[in-house]
């Protein structure tokens, strides 16, 4: 019997949850852009999740778009992929025990994949470090063609692959026009979210039509316009919500995956996987979609969990025994039943562990 495939989000499950590259990018912006957009992007982030929730059953909008918006603003600010790669290298911190987990998976011949909403450099740095094939890395930006996957699997060149995947080089060509578009797009997006909250179906329809008009008529440069269409409407550059699920479907149409996630963007992927594990997760939709939940500061505890799940092909042989093993690592493991019957306790426990990790990240930074 073949091993299950292991698929994970990156920010949170692999890197410290204090490492949020979209917000690190925003922190690096010029004073003018930071003043103008910091609060606006918080509203956008809220709307991104809210519209996904309203359109979830129809697989409409796919949340996980804030990283794309942060890249657009970086382009407006004149930043290059080299600039953002330098920030990634400077700020990235992996969770304790992750290197041991990846080593274990390789020794057991378990295929590993990244499926993430983050800027391409984040997953590429880790993918190249741990020798995860480029064809196994799904991230925001441009998705690699079949030929490109074959090429970069054989010819590892991080900087070249980053340029292929990242939209920055195109977006920065017309910064003033892009900024004007973002103003209207983000305002329209938030108004759509508010219309959903009011239950005003007609206004939602009107605003979504305006959304299309803004996209196709506010950007005169065809190359930039198509790029924004690709990223924001066609959403091939957004790896969140049901887009993560679609990535898992391409990896394993028969759901033969273990998926590890930590937030709302992982809910659909957690629900799709044969075994969905949320880690240090405080989002109710992701927790509700989880087969089990882990609160931990030492990610090497995933080794006995993965071993047991893989040996029993998606199930656990003895959950109570595994709980005791996790406790030996000072972690806590919750079953689906624990999540359903004692949700507030599960969420608060996860919050405590996540907060501790974020504080550790701040001390290191």
Q: What is the pLDDT of residues 183-207, one digit of tens each?
A: 999 999 999 999 999 999 999 999 9
Q: How many helices (H) and strands (E) does the chain have?
A: 19, 7
Q: How far apart are CA 107 and CA 88, in angstroms?
A: 28
Compute, in degrees rounded to 10, the torsion defined by CA atoms 60, 63, 66, 68.
Answer: -60
- Check the CA dihedral 108-253-130-276 and report its sign: negative
Question: Hey, what are 196's tokens?
Answer: 């959903």
φ, ψ of residue 140 in degrees (nearest 5): -65, 165
Residue 268: pLDDT over 60:
yes
Edge-first strand order for the sheet with 275-279 is: 137-138, 112-115, 5-8, 257-261, 275-279, 292-295, 332-335
Q: What does each C-alpha distance from 54 to 63, 228, 274 come to in angstroms?
A: 11, 23, 25
Q: Name the pLDDT band for 161 (thresholds 50, 70, 90).
A: very high
Q: Name the pLDDT band for 319 (thresholds 50, 70, 90).
A: confident
- The pLDDT score that the predictor gives to residue 162 is 98
Which uninterrupted H or E stretch holds 287? helix 284-288
Average the pLDDT over each of 3-12, 78-87, 304-313, 324-333 and give the range with the smallest value: 304-313
Return the percentage of the chain with pLDDT > 70, whole number.
Answer: 98
Contact predicate 65/48, CB 8 Å: yes
What pTM value is reported for the model?
0.96
202 CB-contact burial (10 Å; exposed 0-12 / middle 13-18 / buried 19+): exposed
Q: How far apart are CA 229 and CA 216, in angstroms?
A: 8
Mean pLDDT of 322-338: 93
Residue 317: pLDDT over 90:
no
Q: Look at residues 140, 13, 127, 144 and name the one whose alpha carbon lies nearest to residue 71.
A: 140
Tally Cβ neighbours within 10 Å of residue 114: 24
Q: Look at residues 20, 33, 40, 16 and name the one whose alpha carbon lies nearest to residue 96.
A: 16
pLDDT digits (tens, 9 = 90+) for 4-43: 999 999 999 999 999 999 999 999 999 999 999 999 999 9
For the chain, give the mean pLDDT: 95
- The pLDDT score that the predictor gives to residue 360 is 93
- The pLDDT score that the predictor gives to residue 1 is 54
Residue 154: pLDDT over 70:
yes
Q: How far apart are CA 333 and CA 26, in angstroms?
A: 35
Q: How far apart are CA 190 and CA 192, in angstroms?
A: 5
Which uninterrupted H or E stretch holds 258? strand 257-261
- The pLDDT score that the predictor gives to residue 364 is 84
Within 166-266, residue ranges assigned H as helices are 168-171, 175-198, 201-217, 222-228, 241-251
- The pLDDT score that the predictor gives to residue 339 is 97
Mean pLDDT of 267-281: 97
Contact predicate 332/342, CB 8 Å: no
Residue 74: pLDDT over 70:
yes
- The pLDDT score that the predictor gives to residue 335 is 95
Tally Cβ neighbours within 10 Å of residue 287: 21
CB contact set of 8 (below 8 Å; sequence gap of 6+): 14, 112, 113, 114, 115, 259, 260, 261
- The pLDDT score that the predictor gives to residue 314 is 61
- The pLDDT score that the predictor gives to residue 293 is 97
Mean pLDDT of 81-109: 97
Return the percentage of the chain with pLDDT > 90, whole number.
Answer: 90
Residue 53: pLDDT over 90:
yes
Contact predicate 127/10, CB 8 Å: no
Mean pLDDT of 340-348: 97
How many Cα atoms within 13 Å fall on the side-chain side of residue 284?
6
Q: Name the pLDDT band for 218 (thresholds 50, 70, 90).
A: confident
Q: How far apart are CA 139 and CA 114, in angstroms?
A: 8
Q: Name the pLDDT band for 312 (thresholds 50, 70, 90).
A: confident
Q: How far apart are CA 260 and CA 269, in angstroms?
A: 9
């Amino acid at each position: 019997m073949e091993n299950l495939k292991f698929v994970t989000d990156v920010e949170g499950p692999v890197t410290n949850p204090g490492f949020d590259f979209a917000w690190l990018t925003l922190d690096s912006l010029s004073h003018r852009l930071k003043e103008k957009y910091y609060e606006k992007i918080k509203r956008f982030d809220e709307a991104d999740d809210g519209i996904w929730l309203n359109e979830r059953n129809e697989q409409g909008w796919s949340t996980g778009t804030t990283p794309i918006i942060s890249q657009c603003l970086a382009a407006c600010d004149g930043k290059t992929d080299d600039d953002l790669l330098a920030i990634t290298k400077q700020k990235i911190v992996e969770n304790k025990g992750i290197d041991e987990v990846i080593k274990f998976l390789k020794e057991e011949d378990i295929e590993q994949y990244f499926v993430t909403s983050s800027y391409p450099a984040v997953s590429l740095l880790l993918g190249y470090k741990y020798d995860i094939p480029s064809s196994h890395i799904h991230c925001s930006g441009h998705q690699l063609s079949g030929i490109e996957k074959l090429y970069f699997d054989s010819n590892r060149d991080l900087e070249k692959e980053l340029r292929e995947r990242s939209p920055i080089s195109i977006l920065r060509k017309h910064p003033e026009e892009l900024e004007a578009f973002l103003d209207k797009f983000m305002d329209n997006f938030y108004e759509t979210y508010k219309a959903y909250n009011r239950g005003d179906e007609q206004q939602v329809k009107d605003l979504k039509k305006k959304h299309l008009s803004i996209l196709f008529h506010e950007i005169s440069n065809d190359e930039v316009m198509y790029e924004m269409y690709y990223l924001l409407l066609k959403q091939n550059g957004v790896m969140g919500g049901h887009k993560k699920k679609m990535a898992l479907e391409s990896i394993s149409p028969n759901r033969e995956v273990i998926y590890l996630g930590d937030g709302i963007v992982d809910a659909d992927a957690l629900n799709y996987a044969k075994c969905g594990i949320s880690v240090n997760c405080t989002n109710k939709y992701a927790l509700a979609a989880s087969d089990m939940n882990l609160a931990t500061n030492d990610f090497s505890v995933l080794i006995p969990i993965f071993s047991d799940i893989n040996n029993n092909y998606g199930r656990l042989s003895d959950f109570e025994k595994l709980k005791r093993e996790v406790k030996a690592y000072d972690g806590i493991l919750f079953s689906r039943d624990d999540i359903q019957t004692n949700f507030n306790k599960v969420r608060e426990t996860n919050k405590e562990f996540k907060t501790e990790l974020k504080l550790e990240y701040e001390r290191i930074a």
